[in-house]
Each structure stands twice: as structure tokens, then as C-alpha cells.
Amino acid sequence: MLTEAVQDGVQAMRDPVGGSVEFHFVPILKLISTLLIMGVFDDEDVTHILKMLEPTVFSGKKEEEPAEENGETKEQKEQEVPQQAGAVGEQQQEAMEEEEEEFEEEEFEDDGLGEEEEEEMEQEEVESTKALVPQEEHKEETEGVSGEKGAQETEKEKHLETSGESEESLEEGLFQMKLPESVKLQMCTLLQYFCDCELRHRVEAIIAFSDMFVSQIQSNQRQRYNELMLAFTMSAAETARKTREFRSPPQEQVNMLMNFKNCAEDEECPIPDEVRESMLIFHNALLTHCGVHIDEEEEEEEVDNSLRGRLVRLLERVKKFREKKVEVQLEPQEDKKPSTLQELISHTTIHWAQESFIQNPELVRMMFSLLHRQYDGLGELIRALPKAYTINAVSINDTMDLLECLGQIRSLLIVQMGPEEERLMIQSIGNIMSNKVFYQHPNLMRALGMHETVMEVMVNVLGGGDSKEIRFPRVVTNCCRFLCYFCRISRQNQRSMFDHLSYLLQNSGIGLGMRGSTPLDVAAASCIDNNELALALQEQDLEMVVKYLAGCGLQSCPMLLAKGYPDIGWNPCGGEKYLDFLRFAVFVNGESVEENANVVVRLLIRRPECFGPCPERRGWQRSVSGHRRGHQDIGGPCEGWADHEERQTFPNVWRRGAT
């Protein structure tokens, strides 16, 4: 489809398919981009797509030109292959002719040869000709069998030849046509995919080299350790110095081994020279591939300060200056064509920008992004490496199942939630939590952004409409359960979830009466048993929790009222969970955090309604009478003042106790 579209576009068709050039190219390019992302095409298909974009860059003609001589030799060999039997016979005949010539020469030299020897030579010639006959018959039989077997392959070869001819006939690609902005935008999307592939290949190359490099270091370290264990003549100081590497933690060992980059040449390095050279070679190759050109350091030579030496240097400078001047004059005449994908993208974006005024702002952003990526290869690689993750071959199937569930959840985000979508969402979240990779590789979960995806699901469910009723409570419960497990498997995951603490506390009053986890449980799990995160809690976060706790002592519980329980005037369902959150903020690993403790006490004093329901009237009277006696013993204020102070301090409690 793309080949036909490009061929029609090159011929400047009058009535394109779809009525315009936009409808002629955009649907096909969108389909190709989707199929590339899905991984449907193989390497040959991708090469064909690149040829459709720019045949002069991706045709591979440069590789064929230096190989013409090799091609001629190959053609000669191919011509010799079907004539092997005849070639053998010709060689034998040539050998016989040479022998006859030698024999004739010998006759002139020595006339002692008789007729018997001549007869023997004639018999040998007859036998050699007979030996050639079965070889030719065998050749005919093999040709017949191969012809029958290759009858089916001829059609494929013809198809490949026709496709190859169509590719060779293309002198212009999509980049050389005058395209509308919509087609250019889709072309930018396609080029972004190829840039992503290039970045992925760089990351994979680094991972492959790291695997080989680490294995070499480990084998060398094991060898040095065995040699050290077999040595018995070392002194105590030398033993301590040589065993320091093996007594250090793993991270320090790696730092010591990799310190050869900063070591001087005179210092001893435990890593062999071959391993160090391979590291430096790969480093330079990677920088070159990323577009970073390294200036080779010129070797310092002894400077001749004599009159003759200075005159020679002056002549060399003048000569170099003249050569540069000639090169500068010749450069504008030579039109350098792009030879790589980076050069092609840079050349194309600049050409599009100079061709006409661009009206689509999205196309401008895409073009600038593409152009920036060509000159930011190293920075892009640095940002991509922390997101990369390697796993063992044993966990491939589990990882693929996990990615399938994650993709299903993300595909359901754009769909309006219903009963079927709720079931699929709960099933996918449950499958992720039951996958062993979820617990074995917590960093992979964070790199995939699973917590952000599940948070987005919860936001979509909780953020719909003004009603306080939860439409899909089971989805919220499963999301909160997933996020609680996510926080428990790693401290880094706990930190990444702590960034969403404000949203969790804003919705902490949701689902307190339900069974299962709630947003308040996720907020508590994001800072539990972590001193650093507990100290990072702000006063406004704790004040929000105390505010909700105060509301539990002033409001009735709708769930208990719906089940027929009497109205006790307060909500016991959420108060316990709010107190647990405050307890986790104050007590961390069995020790109290004084900063949080002072803040919590101050906030509770400001809101005395947090201390729970009114006790029984008898207990209240007993506490009030004790309070009065204490004031009388110490000469405090009168009873009327005490009653007034009690009413001002506990207005709601006094109202309940006085009835």
C-alpha cells in the first residue's frame, strides 16, 4: 500500500485516492505507525519503509559499489558451479595434453621410447573419457530434481524481483515531495518511533556490554581471591591491604574496581588491561553513536626553538592556512547529502521550516522535538537509563503477563466505567498483585509507573459527579489495597507514593465504613516506619487529619443509622483510623518523633471535640465535682466561673451531659 501510494505521489497524480494528498497518505502512515509499535513488521519490512521515505539514504548503494569486484568473483563462481562436472573433465584433458607435450619433448631428447608406451597412453585417454560420461548423466539427473523442487520457489523469486524493481525505480521518496501539514505531522510521528528504536538499541547495547564486563570482572576477582588464599608468605600489613577489597561491601567493591578511570598510570589497578581497554573502546563508540565527537589529543612533541625550527613551523602554518582556504572555497559548491537517519531528520526539518510558513502549532512542536533529539542523544540516554530495567530469562513469562494486565488497565481508563469494566479492572489488579514479579522486582513496578496508573483509576472513580456516594466501591478498595502493597515492598516505592499524600488525605473521609483498604490506609502506608518521610510530614497535613477526627465526634454515623442502630451522636467508624494515622506519624519504629508529637498535641488541644463522645452523666458529674474540689483546695475561682468555663470549653459535651 505504501509503495503504491509513493509511486502514485511521485508521478504527480491528478486525482489521488481519497480526493486529496492528505487522505491519500495519512491513513496509510497511521496504520504503519500502529503496526510498527505492535511489532508486526520484521527487519526487511522496516528497511522497505525507510526506502519509501528516502531511497537515496537507505537504498544501500554505497555498500554495493566497493563490493563490485567481489560481486564479479561471486558471479564467476556461480557460473562455475553448474559446470563442475565439465570443469573436471577439462582439467583432466589439459593435464593429458601437458603430458603429451612433455612426452613429445622427451622424444626429441631421447629416441629410446617404444610403441608400447604410446599404446598405454592411448588406453588411459579412453578410460578418462569414459569416466566423464556418468558424471554428466548424474548432473542431468540432479538438474531435473532441482528443477522440480524449485518450481514453487520461482514464483517467490519473481515476486521479490518485482518488488526490488519497484524499489529501484523509485528515485524520490516522501521526503522529496511537497506534502501538506497533516502528512508532515504523521511523518514526524513515524520518525519519533525510529528515534525511540535507536534509543532502545543504545540502551540494549549498554546492558549487553555491562553483562559481559561484569562477568569478566567477577572471574578476575575470583581468580585473585583464590591466589590470595593460597599465599602463605605475606606479612600482616600486606594481607590487610590486599584483602581490603574482599572485606568491603558490594557497592564499595564496585567503586574500587571502577576507579581505574581516575587513577594515574603509575598506580596499580586490579582490573586487567584488556578489560579496561574494552571499556574505553565501548565508551568512545557510544559517544560517537550519540553524536558526541571526541577530539583526539595530539601527542606532545619536543618543540625545536632554534631559528630553523621556528621557520619550519611558520611554513607549516602558512601551508595549512592555504589548504583551509581552498577547502572553504570548495565547500559551497559541494551539496552534501544526508547519509544517516540523524542527518536526514535534521535536513528534512530544516527544509520544511524554510519551505513555507507552518500554521499548525503541533507540527512546530513535533519538528522542534525531532530536531532537538538529534543533538541531545547523550542527554536522552542519561534520562532513559534510570527507567531501564533488566530481568532474568526465568521471569520473562511472568513479566509478559504483568505487562498484559497493565495494558488492559490502561486501555480501560479511556472507557466509561460499567459493571463489565469494573470486573475486568478488579481482575487485572488482582492478577498483578498475585504475580511474583510484583514482589521480586519493586523497582520494575516503579519504573513502569503502576502506582500512577492505579492512582489515575481511583481518581476517575472518585472524581465523577458531586455526589458523595461511591459508584464503584470495590474498585476503590482494590486500588487502595494495591497501593498499600506497593508501599510495603520497597522504601523507594513508599517515597514515590508519598508525593500523592495531599490527594489521599483530601479523600481520606471516603470509604471509612467499607470493608477493606481506604485512601487513608494508603496515606498511612506511605509514611509508616520511615523516619525520613515522617519528618517530611507538614503541619497542614496533620491538621487535615485532626479536622476529620474532630468531625467524627460531632456527626452521626449514616451507616449505623441505615442498619437500624440508635443515634449515638458521633461516628466511631472513622475515628479509629484517623488515630492510627496520627500514631504512625508520632511513633516510628518504636521511637517517638518529637516534632510531630508537639504538632499533634497542639492541634488536639485546639480541637477538644476530638476526644470522643460524652461520657455517661454520672461519670461527667463525678469529674465536674472533682474539678470543683480541686479549685476550692487551691483557692481557685468560684463555682459560677468554673461552670461558665466548662461550658465554653466543652459546649457539645455539656449540652449532652445536662440533659
DSSP codes joined into one string, 332-347: GGS-PPP-SHHHHHHH
Tens digit of pLDDT for each residue in 470-523? 778 888 889 999 999 999 998 999 999 998 888 888 887 776 666 678 888 899
User: What is the pLDDT at residue 146?
Assistant: 47
Whether the predicted pLDDT of 92 surpasses 90? no
User: What is the pLDDT at residue 372?
Assistant: 92
Looking at the structure, do residues 235 and 351 belong to the same domain, yes or no?
yes
User: What is the pLDDT at residue 156?
Assistant: 44
Tell me the C-alpha distance between 5 and 28, whole Å. Answer: 9
- Residue 80 placed within a domain: no
Region 30-55 average pLDDT:
86
User: What is the pLDDT at residue 400?
Assistant: 93
Tell me the C-alpha distance between 60 and 353, whole Å. Answer: 28
Tell me the C-alpha distance between 234 and 174, whole Å. Answer: 73
- Residue 100 placed within a domain: no
Tell me the C-alpha distance between 348 and 318, whole Å. Answer: 39
Residue 57 backbone class (left: φ over 0; alpha: ψ -120 to 50; beta: rest): alpha
Region 271-276 average pLDDT:
85
Q: Which helix (H) or strand (E) holds 388?
A: none
Looking at the structure, do residues 244 and 202 belong to the same domain, yes or no?
yes
- Torsion angles phi and psi, residue 591, rounded to 5: -120, 145
Looking at the structure, do residues 350 and 402 belong to the same domain, yes or no?
no
- Residue 366 placed within a domain: yes
How many of the other CB atoms lie within 10 Å of CB of 405?
21
C-alpha cell at 178: 511537497
- Which of 276-290, 537-551, 558-572 has the lowest average pLDDT? 558-572
- Residue 347 placed within a domain: yes
User: What is the pLDDT at residue 50?
Assistant: 86
- Residue 355 placed within a domain: yes
Whether the predicted pLDDT of 250 surpasses 70? yes
Region 300-315 average pLDDT:
70
Tell me the C-alpha distance between 516 and 473, whole Å. Answer: 10
Which one, of 372, 386, 448, lies nearest residue 195 by Cα? 372
User: What is the pLDDT at residue 653?
Assistant: 41
C-alpha cell at 493: 516505592
CB burial of residue 650 (10 Å; 0-12, 13-18, 19+): middle
Looking at the structure, do residues 448 and 591 belong to the same domain, yes or no?
no
CA distances from 158 to 52, 163, 175, 197, 314 (A): 21, 9, 29, 32, 66
For residue 651, the enclosing domain spans 621-658
Tell me the C-alpha distance between 137 and 67, whole Å. Answer: 37
- Torsion angles phi and psi, residue 179, rounded to 5: -110, 150
User: What is the pLDDT at residue 339?
Assistant: 78
- Residue 448 placed within a domain: yes
**SS3 string of 400-414?**
HHHHHHHHHHHHHCC
Whether the predicted pLDDT of 219 surpasses 80? yes
Looking at the structure, do residues 60 and 186 belong to the same domain, yes or no?
yes
Whether the predicted pLDDT of 74 surpasses 50? no
Tell me the pLDDT of the chain averaged across its residues: 74
Query: Please, where are the H alpha helices in 150-300?
Result: 151-169, 181-230, 236-242, 244-247, 250-257, 273-289
Tell me the C-alpha distance between 486 and 484, whole Å. Answer: 5
C-alpha cell at 419: 459493571
User: What is the pLDDT at residue 123?
Assistant: 56
Region 450-476 average pLDDT:
78
Whether the predicted pLDDT of 442 surpasses 60? yes
Tell me the C-alpha distance between 398 and 437, whole Å. Answer: 7
Higher pLDDT, 396 or 653: 396
Looking at the structure, do residues 601 and 452 belong to the same domain, yes or no?
no
Whether the predicted pLDDT of 610 surpasses 50? yes
User: What is the pLDDT at residue 328?
Assistant: 54
C-alpha cell at 545: 487529619
Query: Please, where are the H alpha helices in 537-616?
Result: 539-552, 558-562, 572-586, 594-606
- Which of 45-59, 312-326, 490-504 has the lowest average pLDDT? 312-326
State the pLDDT confidence band at 469, using cuts at 50, 70 and 90: low
C-alpha cell at 394: 526465568
User: What is the pLDDT at residue 657?
Assistant: 40
User: What is the pLDDT at residue 125?
Assistant: 52
User: One-letter amino acid identity for 361?
Assistant: P
- Which of 348-352, 592-596, 617-621 has the lowest average pLDDT? 617-621
Which one, of 505, 596, 597, 607, lies nearest residue 552 by Cα? 607
Region 403-421 average pLDDT:
90
CA angle (303 as vertex; 300, 309 as ends), nearest 5:
140
Return the residue matching grid coordinates 553513536.
289
Residues in the chain: 659
CB burial of residue 613 (10 Å; 0-12, 13-18, 19+): middle
User: What is the pLDDT at residue 629?
Assistant: 53
Strand partners of residue 592:
587
- Which of 50-59, 78-87, 278-287, 565-574 has the lowest average pLDDT? 78-87
Which one, of 523, 522, 526, 550, lies nearest residue 606 by Cα? 550
Give the CA-trace dihedral at 392, 396, 397, 402, to 10 degrees: 100
How many of the other CB atoms lie within 10 Å of CB of 462?
20
Whether the predicted pLDDT of 652 surpasses 80? no
Whether pTM exceeds 0.85: no
Looking at the structure, do residues 508 and 404 belong to the same domain, yes or no?
yes
User: What is the pLDDT at residue 659?
Assistant: 37
C-alpha cell at 63: 555498500
Residue that is last in its domain, among 476, 503, 526: 526
- Which of 210-219, 237-246, 304-313 has the lowest average pLDDT? 304-313
Tens digit of pLDDT for each residue in 183-203? 899 999 999 999 999 999 999
- Residue 22 placed within a domain: yes
Looking at the structure, do residues 461 and 587 belong to the same domain, yes or no?
no
Q: Are 480 and 515 in contact (CB under 8 A)?
A: no
The total of structural domains in the chain comes to: 5
Higher pLDDT, 223 or 292: 223
Looking at the structure, do residues 242 and 348 belong to the same domain, yes or no?
yes
Looking at the structure, do residues 178 and 288 belong to the same domain, yes or no?
no
Looking at the structure, do residues 374 and 404 belong to the same domain, yes or no?
no
Higher pLDDT, 128 or 244: 244
Tell me the C-alpha distance between 476 and 473, whole Å. Answer: 5
User: What is the pLDDT at residue 274?
Assistant: 87
User: What is the pLDDT at residue 85?
Assistant: 39
Looking at the structure, do residues 182 and 288 belong to the same domain, yes or no?
no
Whether the predicted pLDDT of 99 surpasses 80? no
- Residue 284 placed within a domain: yes
Tens digit of pLDDT for each residue in 550-569? 877 677 777 777 777 777 77
Whether the predicted pLDDT of 359 surpasses 80? yes
Q: Which helix (H) or strand (E) holds 348?
A: helix 341-355
State the pLDDT confidence band at 397, using cuts at 50, 70 and 90: very high
State the pLDDT confidence band at 140, using cuts at 50, 70 and 90: very low
